[in-house]
């Protein structure tokens, strides 16, 4: 069982539609980034000076908004709010976009927890074997440690904590490799970069 996180940076990329076309037939759970919707929350917090707890909840809802956009762009995708519903849809062989809700996610609020870590959280909740983060930035080849990836800004500061607490394997894939995605699932090391704890 695979979870695929589509970063918010893909929202302004021509790669987004090809990724959605690939994923709709792959039987995977799709975790949306926050994209421009989360950026709006950041600006609102800076302007209004409300606390991180409210901002965290709003950022999670921004992910859901991005997810609804993905569904709008690719109507064949299923959607689900609860992890159990995500797993149920996957067990039917269908691809599903997770629309997260703040009240169902027990993590410490703050901007250091991004959609990358929440994708790993979901993977743990549904007992997914693998998570791949689709990134726009250049990626290291083959394998990379959490600390190095955090230092380069490719993953968030708490990703390693989530990774060490779960059995899910984590991978990175560049946004330009969507044509290789389906063939890589049985042998991910041939295309993806492995994230090591």
Q: How many whole angstroms separate alpha carbon 11 and alpha carbon 113?
A: 20
d(CA 85, CA 105): 15
DSSP per residue, 150-185: HHTTSS-TTHHHHHHTS--EEEEEEGGGGGGHHHHT
Q: How many domains does the chain have?
A: 1
Instruction: Determine which helix (DSSP H) or strand (DSSP E) holds 48, and give its type and residue range.
Output: helix 35-48
Q: State the Cα–Cα distance between residues 123 and 166, nearest whole angstrom.
A: 9
| Residues spanned by the domain of 140 | 2-196
Rg (CA), the chain: 16
pLDDT in tens, the chain (197 residues): 999 999 888 888 899 999 999 999 999 999 999 989 999 999 999 999 999 999 999 999 999 999 999 999 999 999 999 999 999 999 999 999 999 999 888 888 888 889 999 999 999 999 999 999 999 888 888 899 999 999 998 999 999 998 998 899 999 999 999 999 999 999 999 999 999 98
> Who contacts 177 (Cβ-Cβ below 8 Å, separation ≥6)?
184, 191
For residue 55, the model assigns a pLDDT of: 95
Q: Are strands 193-196 and 169-174 parallel, antiparallel or unpaired?
A: antiparallel
Q: How many alpha carbons fall within 13 Å on the CB side of residue 158?
A: 17
**Can you give the pTM of this predicted structure?**
0.94
CATH of the domain at 187: 3.40.1160.10
Cα–Cα distance, 24 to 19 (Å, whole number):
9
């Amino acid at each position: 069982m695979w979870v695929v996180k589509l970063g918010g940076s893909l929202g302004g990329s021509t790669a987004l539609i090809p990724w959605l076309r690939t994923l709709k037939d792959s039987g995977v759970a799709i975790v949306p980034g926050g994209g421009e919707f989360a950026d709006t929350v950041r600006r609102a917090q800076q302007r209004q000076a409300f606390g991180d707890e409210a901002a965290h909840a709003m950022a999670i809802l921004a992910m859901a908004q991005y997810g609804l956009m993905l569904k709008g762009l690719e109507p064949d995708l299923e959607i689900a709010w609860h992890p159990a519903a995500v797993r149920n849809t996957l067990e039917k062989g269908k691809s599903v976009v997770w629309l997260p809700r703040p009240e169902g996610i027990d993590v410490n609020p703050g901007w250091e927890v991004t959609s990358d870590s929440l994708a790993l959280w979901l993977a743990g909740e549904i007992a997914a074997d693998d998570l791949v983060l689709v990134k726009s930035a250049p990626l290291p080849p083959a394998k990379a440690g959490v600390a190095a990836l955090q230092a380069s800004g490719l993953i968030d500061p708490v990703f390693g904590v989530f990774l060490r607490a779960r059995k899910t394997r984590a991978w990175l894939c560049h946004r330009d490799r969507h044509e290789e995605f389906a063939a890589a699932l049985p042998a991910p090391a041939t295309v993806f970069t492995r994230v090591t704890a």
